[in-house]
Chains A and B, each alone.
Chain A
Amino acid sequence: MKSAAGLLKRLARTFAIVVMVVAGSTILVRFAPGYLSDAREMDSRYGDATRIELSAEAARSASLKQMLSAEFVGWTHGDLGVSRQYDVPVAELIAPRLAVTGGLLLRSIAFAWTLALCAALVSSLGRNPSLLWQTPSTLLLAVPTAAMATVCMLSDRGGPVLVMTLLVAARDFKFLDRLLRKAWREPHLLQARAQGITTFRLVCAHILPGIASQLLALATLSIVTALSALVPVEVIFSVPGLGQLAWNAAMNRDLPVLLAVTMIMAVAVTFAGMPSDGAREWQGA
């Protein structure tokens, strides 16, 4: 009963966050100084009358109340509004790209976690953080994603999955290494190691269950890191996913599409954070 109430509370909080994200982003876009400007107004091929018409049309669609209601209606109807650039429902543009981006994210995060966890387990067994393990992750984090992707593409080695894997693994390794180092110093683990219990058994039976909530929180952070790298990676490697759609929308000032993609990302991050919140509460109890 108590856990059901806790779950309901978390769901209500998540829903509130999503509603606030939708409302906040819509207000942000509406009050951005260039919202009412239309590229066509600067095109000399259009006559004065047409430009006045375009301005009037933009002004008509500028009411915040109208924008917010259109946004919520679009979400409830499932079409997510209409693209300014393509004049089709945004949902039609997003649907085929969700699978591409989802696949890319899943593969990258899975590879990154395997790589980071293995490296951190080996590295944390040493007495002090060694340069051998720390240097590659520090270096990888200092390279902008766009540059890493460009170098990979030009050298014809590696693809989008590799770039995202390296980036997420580098960030996760830093956290995991610190987390595992701290865990290995627990008195009961020192005692168990002294008694000759195998490292594999200690990791499976004591370390991983003990840091489960932190691992879940780190998983959420991995999603955020991967989403941040998504746009440059998809644009440079020409992957037809949500990141490329968002960039295309940003370049062509197609704000309904950009708003919808941002919302989807926010919803994904918020829901991804729910298990870690639950695990933290459970561990606290």
Chain B
Amino acid sequence: MTVKTSSFRIAAMWLLTALVAIAIAVLSLPGKSYSSQDREQLLAGASAQHPAGTDGLGRDRMVRVAAAMLLSIAGAILASAATTLAAAGIGTISAFGPALLGRFAMLVCDVFLALPWLFLLMMVRSALPLTTSPAHSAVVTFLVLAALGWPACARAVYQGALELRNAEWMLHARAGGLRGTQIVRHVLPNLTPLLMPQFLICIPAFIIAEANLGALGLGIGEPLPSWGGMLLELDNSAMLLRTPWVYLPIGLLIFILLLLEAVAVEV
């Protein structure tokens, strides 16, 4: 990794941390809530009371953007961690288990990879009960993303673990009588260079998937703020002419995705 790339990555990490800190600070301000409405100021522009204006229901846009950012980053990190752990487990067990198990696991991976994400997400989301609460819809959205994201990562881990299995030091270790649990203790640290990029790549992918799903009305339910829900504002051309602050969510989302991409690149 070059010095230039490394410093760029560190700068991106600091910027992301700063954005998260600002979002937490905005949400901690007294009297600010993502769902509280100011009925006197619907679709208002920037003011001292509402620095980024309000949406069509009179809710403070800055607070909603801050909440959406924290929700999507936290959800995507947790989903990415779950999917990476699942991939690590499945890939390692398949590589070190019987050959038949490995082949079956890769067939299951093929089945998942054959299903386009968005269609499966839509299918699961539309089959939720009609009375699903917004919090549940958020949990389900990220759970489904985690459940669908592991196969590509598991394939990479499987190949990496197979190479480790056939490595000379591993043959020595096995010949020396190392037990399965002891082998895993040595394998997992060696798979970290493979797992870390997968974990980092999944975070922006999950954020963008949630935004796309939300923009179709199938993401996190209102009044919980989400990127997708706020992108729906872009559909209203009258609103676009009235205040430029409507573009804040999409601008910030793209900026965050670029920062995450910079962090993920060449880890």
Residues of A within 8 A of B (CB): 13, 16-18, 20-21, 24-25, 28-29, 32-35, 37, 39, 42, 138-139, 141-147, 150-151, 154, 224, 227-228, 230-232, 235, 246-247, 249-251, 253, 255, 258-259, 261-262, 265-266, 269-270, 273
- Segment touching A, from B35-43, B58-66, B126-134, B167-175: B126-134
Structural contact, B127 and A32, CB atoms closer than 8 A: yes
Query: When A266-B114, A266-B115 are in contact, do A232 and B216 touch as well, CB less than 8 Å?
Result: yes
Structural contact, B250 and A147, CB atoms closer than 8 A: yes
For the complex, count residues of B whose C-beta is within 8 A of A: 43
List chain A residues, Cβ under 8 A from B231.
Answer: 144, 146-147, 150
Structural contact, B261 and A231, CB atoms closer than 8 A: no
**What's the Cα separation between A151 and B118 when bound, in Å?**
21
List chain A residues, Cβ under 8 A from B125.
Answer: 250
**What's the Cα separation between A31 and B166 when bound, in Å?**
41
> B216 contacts which of A28, A151, A231 (Cβ < 8 Å)?
A231
| Further pairs besides A17-B114, A146-B231, A228-B117: 17, Cβ < 8 Å | A28-B120, A34-B127, A34-B132, A141-B261, A144-B208, A144-B215, A146-B212, A146-B216, A147-B215, A154-B234, A228-B118, A232-B212, A246-B122, A247-B216, A250-B122, A251-B217, A265-B116
**What's the Cα separation between A232 and B71 when bound, in Å?**
22
> B128 contacts which of A20, A32, A147, A231 (Cβ < 8 Å)?
A32
**B228 interface residue (CB < 8 Å to A):** yes
List chain A residues, Cβ under 8 A from B118.
Answer: 227-228, 230-231
**What's the Cα separation between A28 and B132 when bound, in Å?**
18
Structural contact, B123 and A262, CB atoms closer than 8 A: yes
Tell me which residues from 119 to 177 in chain B have a Cβ below 8 Å from any Cβ of chain A.
119-120, 122-130, 132
Structural contact, A251 and B126, CB atoms closer than 8 A: yes
Structural contact, A146 and B215, CB atoms closer than 8 A: yes
**What's the Cα separation between A278 and B231 when bound, in Å?**
42
Query: When A142-B261, A235-B216, A246-B119 are in contact, do A21 and B128 touch as well, CB less than 8 Å?
Result: no
List chain B residues, Cβ under 8 A from A266.
Answer: 114-116
A-B contact pairs, 17 of them (CB 8 A): A16-B107, A21-B115, A29-B123, A32-B124, A39-B130, A138-B258, A143-B250, A147-B211, A154-B240, A228-B118, A231-B216, A232-B216, A235-B216, A251-B218, A255-B126, A270-B114, A273-B114
Query: When A17-B110, A28-B124, A251-B126 are in contact, do A144 and B212 touch as well, CB less than 8 Å?
Result: yes
Query: When A16-B107, A33-B129, A259-B123 are in contact, do A250 and B114 touch as well, CB less than 8 Å?
Result: no
Residues of B within 8 A of A (CB): 107-108, 110-111, 113-120, 122-130, 132, 204, 208, 211-212, 215-218, 227-228, 231, 234-235, 237, 240, 250, 253-254, 257-258, 261
> Which 10 interchain pairs have the tightest Cβ spacing?
A32-B127, A146-B215, A34-B129, A142-B257, A250-B126, A250-B122, A227-B116, A144-B211, A262-B119, A34-B128
> B123 contacts which of A25, A138, A141, A145 (Cβ < 8 Å)?
A25
List chain B residues, Cβ under 8 A from A42.
Answer: 130
> A258 contacts which of B113, B122, B227 (Cβ < 8 Å)?
B122
Structural contact, B111 and A20, CB atoms closer than 8 A: yes
**What's the Cα separation between A187 and B235 when bound, in Å?**
54
List chain A residues, Cβ under 8 A from B120.
Answer: 25, 28, 262
Structural contact, A250 and B123, CB atoms closer than 8 A: yes
Structural contact, A247 and B122, CB atoms closer than 8 A: yes
> A28 contacts which of B123, B215, B217, B240 (Cβ < 8 Å)?
B123
List chain A residues, Cβ under 8 A from B218.
Answer: 250-251
Question: Which residue on B lies nearest to A254, using beta carbons?
Answer: B126
Chain B CB within 10 A, most for which of A20, A34, A151, A255: A34
Question: Which residue on A lies nearest to B260, using beta carbons?
Answer: A142
List chain A residues, Cβ under 8 A from B126.
Answer: 249-251, 253, 255, 258
**What's the Cα separation between A24 and B119 when bound, in Å?**
14
